Amino acid sequence: MTTLPDNERPDHEHTYMRWDGWGDPTRAHGLPGGVKLLLAAVLGRTPKAPPARRLAEVTISSPPLAADDLAALAEAVGAEQVDAGHDVRLLHAGGKSTPDLLRRRQAEQAAPGAVVLPASEDEVVAVLAVAVERGLAVVPFGGGTAVTGGLEPDAGPHRGVVSLDLRRLSGLVAFDELAHEATFLAGTTAPVAEMFLAERGFELGHFPQSFEFATLGGFAAMRSSGQNSAGHGRFDAMVTGLRVVTPTGTLDLGRAPGSAAGPDLVRWFLGSEGTFGVITQVRLRVHPTPEARLFDAWTFGSFAAGAEALRNVAQLGTGPTVIRLSDEDETAVSLAQVGNIGKALATGCSAVVLHEGPAGLAAARREATGRVLREAGGEPADAKLAASWDHGRFKAPYLRDALLAHGVFCETLETATTWSNLHALKTAVTAALASGFAEEHAKNRVLCHISHVYPTGASLYFTVIAGLGTEPLEPWGRVKSRVNDAIMAAGGTISHHHGVGSDHAPWLEQEIGSAGIRMIRAVQAELDPAGIMNPGALVQRTTAQW
Amino acid sequence: MTTLPDNERPDHEHTYMRWDGWGDPTRAHGLPGGVKLLLAAVLGRTPKAPPARRLAEVTISSPPLAADDLAALAEAVGAEQVDAGHDVRLLHAGGKSTPDLLRRRQAEQAAPGAVVLPASEDEVVAVLAVAVERGLAVVPFGGGTAVTGGLEPDAGPHRGVVSLDLRRLSGLVAFDELAHEATFLAGTTAPVAEMFLAERGFELGHFPQSFEFATLGGFAAMRSSGQNSAGHGRFDAMVTGLRVVTPTGTLDLGRAPGSAAGPDLVRWFLGSEGTFGVITQVRLRVHPTPEARLFDAWTFGSFAAGAEALRNVAQLGTGPTVIRLSDEDETAVSLAQVGNIGKALATGCSAVVLHEGPAGLAAARREATGRVLREAGGEPADAKLAASWDHGRFKAPYLRDALLAHGVFCETLETATTWSNLHALKTAVTAALASGFAEEHAKNRVLCHISHVYPTGASLYFTVIAGLGTEPLEPWGRVKSRVNDAIMAAGGTISHHHGVGSDHAPWLEQEIGSAGIRMIRAVQAELDPAGIMNPGALVQRTTAQW
C-alpha cells in the first residue's frame, strides 16, 4: 500500500445541491410533453404545487448554537470552518427523500444549530470532544443524499445539534496497485473517487442513484447498494477496511482479507448510520477499468418468467455486472427512462444486462448469461434500450423535482426477500399501496423492478406516482406506514437500498428482534456513552440510555 | 422455504473421536516408510514419545458438578442427557490442536464438570437459565475439532463448567429449492448435512480439514474457511441466517439477502466463538451438485511466480472452486500428501485447481483460469497430483498422530494479508519459526502454501515439523508466541482459518484495538451479563465484567 504524499485531494468547491430539490440547479428541467400526457391519463388533473420557498423566507424553529458553543467548535476546526448562518443551517437540515423536499416548502423548519467542516481526523476527534463536553448532538453529513431521515437535526436530550460536514475530508490516502485496494478519506464523493482511480487505470464501479453527490463514508454508513452490485457486490462487499472516530476512541479495522480473528468489526460499523461514530477513512477493493462494457436488453413474456431467468443467472454465477428486470407497468413506461416516458408502450418485461472485463472474459460472461436467459424464455431486444438506461440512470431525481412542481407526488421504496417469497412480497406491497392510496382517494401508478440479484433472492424497487393533493405529507405518511407493515408481514426486509434512518426505525425491531436492538444500543452506549451520535437515526433510543 | 415435518434428523450415534488424537480410531496408522526416511534426514533421531495414556489413568483436576447442579440440569434436558462421568468429561476437555493432544498425555487434566446434551432450542434455553441461576460457565461443544483453545473448560469466576454438547441438535429443518437455502440445526456435522443435501441434488461444499467431524454451528461460530472457499466463499459468505439462544433472549437473524436495515447482526455472531450465546440453527446458501468437477495441477518456477498467477485469477474472477499453491519445500514433499511424502522430490511449486458447475460453464471457467495461469508462466502438470490431493485431503490429522507417536512435533498455523504484503509476511513468519526453533535447539522443517485467495490478498498456511524433545509443550509455546508477535509486526491477521480461542486471545487487541475489544465486551455484557458463555475464549475478560 503506497501512502500518497500529503494525500491527493481535490479542490473543495463548496457547492451545494439545490436546497429544496435534487442535484445541480442548472440541470433542473420541466416535464417532457409525453410525461404530461401520461400523467393526465393516469392521475387526471393534479393541483399545481405551491411555489418553491426561498431560503430567506424560511424561519428556523430553533436558534443557532450559542456563542460559547461556537467558540469551542472554532477551537476544534478553526473559526472559518464553523458556520451558524441561516442558509448553511438549512442546507444541512435533512436529506432528499420526497418528504424531506416537501418539508422544505414549509414556513418554519428544523435545522442544526451550526455546521462544522473538519479537515482532518484530529479535527473530527476534537469536534466530538467539544460535543461531549458541551452536550451537543452530532449528525455526520456526507453528500446529503439520505432518503430515510438519517440526517434529521434531532438533538435527543442535548442542547443543540452540530452538523458535521465531511466535504473537506476528501481525497485519496493510499493506493495499492497489487492488492487492488484504495483508501479514501470518507468525505470523498463517488465521482471524485472515480476520477482519482481513473488516473490509475482503475475504477470502483459503485453507482447508486445518488452517485453524483454521495460520499464513500455515506455509502459505508448506510450499506449502500449500487446499480453494478450484481458484478462488484454491494458497497459492503467492497469495503476492506475502515477508520472510525468515536467519542471514546478511534478504530482502525480490516487487517487482512478473510480474517477469522473474531467477529468482523468492519461489518459492525457498516449500517451503523453515524450512531457509533464518524467514519473518517474507507479502504476499498477496486478493479481495473474494464476493457469491454457490453450492454444488452432482453424481453420476457412476464415478470415471473423474467424473475426465473434472473434467478438462474444469479445462482449459476455467470457474472453480469448489471442485471435488472422491470415489471409490466415499468416496462410500459419504457424502462422508466426520462427521455422515453410516455413513448411507445412496450409489452412484456424488459431487462437490462451489462457484462464487463477484459474483452474475452466479458464476451464469455455475456454468452453464458445469454444462454441462461434464452433458455428461460428471454428474447434479445434492442440494445439501445440498455444504453439509454445507462445514459439516463442518474436523471430520475431531476424528474421527481419536475413532478413535485407539477403537483404530482413521486417517491420510491424498496425491499428484498428470497426468490421463493419474491412474488408474494411484490403482491403484498402492491396491495398495501393500492389500499393505502384508495383510503386517501388518490389515483396512482406503481412501477416495480428487480434491481439487485443474489443467489438466494432479490430486491424489489418500487416507484410510485400519485395525486395526493396539495398537502401530501400526512397522507403519504399513512400509506408508507401501511406499506412498511405489509413488508414486515410478508417477510421482506425494511430496507435493501436506503437504510433505516428515522423513517424506518419504528420497524427495525420487527426485523432484528428486541435482543438485536439491545446489541446495537450496547455498542452505542460503549462507544458513545453520552449518546451524542446522530440520536434520531437507526434505533429509537430509550431515555435510560442518556 | 418448506419446513420439514418434525425435522429430518439423522440417528445419533454417540461416537467420539479418538480422545487423544484425531478422528476415527480405526483409521489411525503408523508412519509410512518413506516418511520415516525423510524425517531421519531432516530431524535426525527423535525420542520416542511416551505411550498414550488411557482415559482411566487420568486424574481430573476438578470434581464433577455437585448433585444439586446435576439435578437442575436434569430438569432442563432429562436425567439421561446429563453426564458427569469421568470418561465423558475427558472427552469434552478441549479441542484437537497439537498442544491439546500433548496435554492428553498428562497425569492430571482439566475437564468440564458435566456434559449436557439438549435436543431442542427450548432445552438450550433451559440449560442457560440453570447456568445463570447456579453460577456455572457454559462451553458450547460442536464437533470438538477446535484448534485454538476455544473449548477450554475455563470456569472464569464461576463454580464450574458445563460442556453443552450439541450433537442431538442435528438435522435439516427446512429446505428451499428455489432460493437455494437450507436450514440446519447447529449440531449437524458437515457430512450429515451433505447427505441431506445430496438426497435433494444439492451440496454445501464447505471442506475444511475438520470436515468429517465438525458441525455447522461450529463453522459459523469460528468463521471457518474451507478448501473450496475460492469458489463458494468462506463459511461466513454461505450463512444467510442464524438462530441464537443467549442468556437474555433468542435471536432470529437474516431476514433477506442484501438487506441494508442497520448493521448485519448475523456477522456480529459469526466469529463470536460461543461467547455471545449458542447458535442453534444455521441457514445456508447451497448449490446444485456440480455436473462436472475438473481437477488440474500446475507447476510454477517459483513461489513468487505462482502467487502472481493466483493473484491474477482471483482479481479477474475466472471462477475456480479450489486454487492453492505450495511453496518449494511443500512441493518437495509432494503436496504434503500422506501417501506421497518422501517420494520423488518435485522442483518448483505445485498448484492444485478445481473447476465445477454445469459441464459447459465448468469447462469455460477452467479455460479462463488456465489462460491466466499460462500467461503467468504456469505449466500444466500431471492432473493425478490434484486428484491425489483431493483423495488425501482429510488424512493429514491422522499423519500428525503418527508423527507425535514417533516423537516428532507437528503443528499448523496460518495467517493472511494483502497480495502486496504476502511475501514479507511469509518471510517474517519463516524467520520467527527459524529463530524460535534455533533458540530451542530443534531441527525442523517448515512447509507453506497459499490456501485461500481473495481479490485483495491471500492466506498463508504453514505446516511445521520439529524435534522438540519429549516435553514439547513449553518450547512450542515460546515458538508460537514469537510467531504471533511476528505476524502482528508484519501486518498479518492473527488467524485466517482457526479463530481466536484462548490461544490467540492475547493478540486480538493488537488486531482490533482497545475500542474493538470494548465493542465485543459490550455485546457480551448485554447478552450475557453474568458472563457464563465460554469465558476462556476470544477476549481476555476483565473482572469488572463479572
Three cell numbers at A108?
Answer: 418554519
Number of domains in chain A: 2
The string over B74-85, giving b where at least 16 C-beta atoms fall within 10 Å of a residue's C-beta and e elsewhere, is bebbeeebbbbe
Q: Looking at beta carbons, which residues of chain A come within 8 Å of B419?
A: 178-180
Contact B153, B502 (CB under 8 A): no
Residue A219 lies in a domain: yes
Q: Do B457 and A364 touch (CB under 8 A)?
A: no
Residue B418 lies in a domain: no
pLDDT at A343 over 50: no
Three cell numbers at B444?
Answer: 525442523
- Tell me which residue range forms the domain holding A350: 292-392
Type of residue numbered B225: S
Three cell numbers at B347?
Answer: 522442483
ipTM given for this complex: 0.95
Last residue of a domain, one of B255, B288, B321: B288
What is the model's pLDDT at position A216? 98
pLDDT at B448 over 50: yes
**Pair (A279, A179) in one structural domain:** yes
Q: Do A258 and B513 touch (CB under 8 A)?
A: no
Backbone angles phi, psi at A308, to 5 degrees: -60, -40
Contact A515, B527 (CB under 8 A): yes
B73 band by pLDDT with thresholds 50, 70 and 90: very high
How far is A176 from A286, CA to CA, in rounded Å? 10
Contact B176, A418 (CB under 8 A): yes
How far is B222 from B245, CA to CA, in rounded Å? 17
Hey, what long-range contacts does A70-76 have (CB within 8 A, 24 or more apart)? A70/A114, A72/A130, A72/A133, A72/A134, A73/A114, A73/A116, A73/A127, A73/A130, A73/A162, A75/A126, A75/A130, A76/A116, A76/A118, A76/A123, A76/A126, A76/A127, A76/A129, A76/A130
Residue A442 lies in a domain: no
Q: Which of A202, A512, A527 is the best mutation test for B, with the most CBs of B within 10 A?
A: A512
Residue A448 vs residues A59, A395, A429, B530: alpha-carbon distances, Å = 38, 17, 10, 49
Which among B209, B222, B276 is positioned nearest to B249, based on CA atoms?
Answer: B276
Last residue of a domain, one of B168, B201, B219: B168
What is the model's pLDDT at position B11? 53
Type of residue numbered B375: E
Q: Looking at beta carbons, which residues of chain B come within 8 Å of A527?
A: 515, 518-519
How far is A114 from A88, CA to CA, in rounded Å? 8
What is the model's pLDDT at position B5? 52
Q: Do B504 and A319 touch (CB under 8 A)?
A: no
pLDDT at A341 over 70: no
Task: Find the CATH number of the domain harbouring B227.
Answer: 3.30.465.10
Contact A77, A119 (CB under 8 A): yes
What residues does A136 pair with on adjacent strands? Answer: A160
pLDDT at A112 over 50: yes
Q: Which residue of B has its CA nearest to A454?
A: B257
Q: Give the length of chain B.
A: 546
Written as one string, the DSSP assignment of A101-129 is HHHTTSSEE---SEEE---SHHHHHHHHH
Secondary structure tally for chain B: helices H, strands E: 18, 21
What mean pLDDT do residues B419-444 have? Answer: 98
Q: Do B538 and A262 touch (CB under 8 A)?
A: yes
Residue B471 lies in a domain: no
Contact A448, A329 (CB under 8 A): yes
Alpha-carbon A462 to chain mean position: 14
What is the model's pLDDT at position A50? 78
B545 band by pLDDT with thresholds 50, 70 and 90: low
**Pair (B33, B137) in one structural domain:** yes
How far is B80 from B64, CA to CA, in rounded Å? 16
B394 band by pLDDT with thresholds 50, 70 and 90: confident
Residue B224 lies in a domain: yes
**Pair (B34, B97) in one structural domain:** yes
Q: Give the length of chain A.
A: 546
The tens digit of pLDDT for each residue in B203-239 reads 999 999 999 999 999 999 999 998 888 888 899 999 9
Contact B325, B290 (CB under 8 A): no
pLDDT at A527 over 60: yes
3-state helix, strand, coil in chain A (%, to 5): 40, 20, 40
CA distance B518 to chain A (A): 7
Secondary structure tally for chain A: helices H, strands E: 18, 21
How far is A444 from A449, CA to CA, in rounded Å? 17
What is the model's pLDDT at position A335? 47
The tens digit of pLDDT for each residue in A442-477 reads 999 999 999 999 999 999 999 999 999 989 999 999
pLDDT at B340 over 90: no
Q: Do B526 and A519 touch (CB under 8 A)?
A: yes
The beta-carbon neighbor of B256 closest among A240, A319, A496 is A496
What is the model's pLDDT at position A385? 82
Mean pLDDT of chain B: 92
What mean pLDDT do residues A246-259 have? Answer: 97
Q: Looking at beta carbons, which residues of chain A come within 8 Å of B237?
A: none
Three cell numbers at A233?
Answer: 457486490
Segment of A378-382, A392-396, B453-457 carrying the highest mean pLDDT: B453-457
Residue A148 lies in a domain: no
Q: Do A252 and B508 touch (CB under 8 A)?
A: no
**Pair (A262, A331) in one structural domain:** no
Task: Find the CATH number of the domain harbouring B332.
Answer: 3.30.70.3450
How far is B391 from A51, CA to CA, in rounded Å? 75
What mean pLDDT do residues A34-53 have? Answer: 84
B137: helix, strand or coil: strand
In terms of DSSP bridges, do strands B114-116 and B160-165 run parallel, antiparallel, or are they unpaired? Answer: parallel
Residue B446 lies in a domain: no
The beta-carbon neighbor of B179 closest among A236, A264, A419 is A419
What is the model's pLDDT at position A543? 53
Q: Do B256 and A457 touch (CB under 8 A)?
A: yes
Q: Looking at beta carbons, which residues of chain B come within 8 Å of A312?
A: none
**Pair (B277, B306) in one structural domain:** no
The tens digit of pLDDT for each residue in B104-139 reads 999 999 999 999 999 999 999 999 999 999 999 999
Mean pLDDT of chain A: 92
**Pair (B49, B114) in one structural domain:** yes
How far is B260 from A219, CA to CA, in rounded Å? 11
**Pair (A257, A302) in one structural domain:** no
Three cell numbers at B467?
Answer: 524435534
**Pair (A334, A248) in one structural domain:** no
Q: Which residue of A has its CA nearest to B318?
A: A361
What is the model's pLDDT at position B409? 96
Q: Do A495 and B1 touch (CB under 8 A)?
A: no
Contact B504, B484 (CB under 8 A): yes
Range in A47-56, A327-336, B178-187, B488-497 with the lowest mean pLDDT: A327-336
Strand order in the sheet with B160-165: B82-83, B114-116, B160-165, B136-141
What is the model's pLDDT at position A5? 52
The string over A331-341, giving b where at least 16 C-beta atoms fall within 10 Å of a residue's C-beta and e elsewhere, is bbbbbbbbebb
What mean pLDDT do residues A153-158 have? Answer: 95
Type of residue numbered B448: C
How far is B185 from B198, CA to CA, in rounded Å? 17
Q: Looking at beta carbons, which residues of chain B come within 8 Å of A226?
A: none
Alpha-carbon B174 to chain mean position: 26
pLDDT at B83 over 80: yes
What is the model's pLDDT at position A110? 97
The tens digit of pLDDT for each residue in A278-300 reads 999 999 999 999 999 999 999 99
A393 band by pLDDT with thresholds 50, 70 and 90: confident
**Pair (B164, B20) in one structural domain:** yes
The beta-carbon neighbor of B270 closest among A263, A415, A514 is A263
Q: Looking at beta carbons, which residues of chain A come within 8 Å of B279?
A: none
Contact B54, B105 (CB under 8 A): no
Range in A416-420, A505-509, B37-41, B463-467 with the lowest mean pLDDT: B37-41
B298 band by pLDDT with thresholds 50, 70 and 90: very high
Type of residue numbered B29: H
The tens digit of pLDDT for each residue in B5-54 reads 555 555 555 578 999 999 998 899 998 887 888 888 889 888 887 778 89
CA distance A440 to chain B (A): 28
Contact B31, B81 (CB under 8 A): no
DSSP annotation of A533 reads: B
Q: Do A257 and B513 touch (CB under 8 A)?
A: no
Q: Looking at beta carbons, which residues of chain A come within 8 Å of B364?
A: 364, 368
The beta-carbon neighbor of B361 closest among A179, A273, A316 is A316
| Max CA pair span of chain B | 70
**Pair (B93, B203) in one structural domain:** no
Q: Which residue of B has its CA nearest to A255?
A: B493
What is the model's pLDDT at position A440? 97
pLDDT at B344 over 70: no
CA distance B541 to chain A (A): 14
**Pair (B15, B163) in one structural domain:** yes
Last residue of a domain, one of A350, A377, A392: A392
Residue B14 lies in a domain: yes
**Pair (B130, B90) in one structural domain:** yes
What is the model's pLDDT at position B46? 82
Q: Looking at beta carbons, which residues of chain B come within 8 Å of A240?
A: 456
The tens digit of pLDDT for each residue in A62-103 reads 999 999 999 999 999 999 999 999 999 999 999 999 999 999
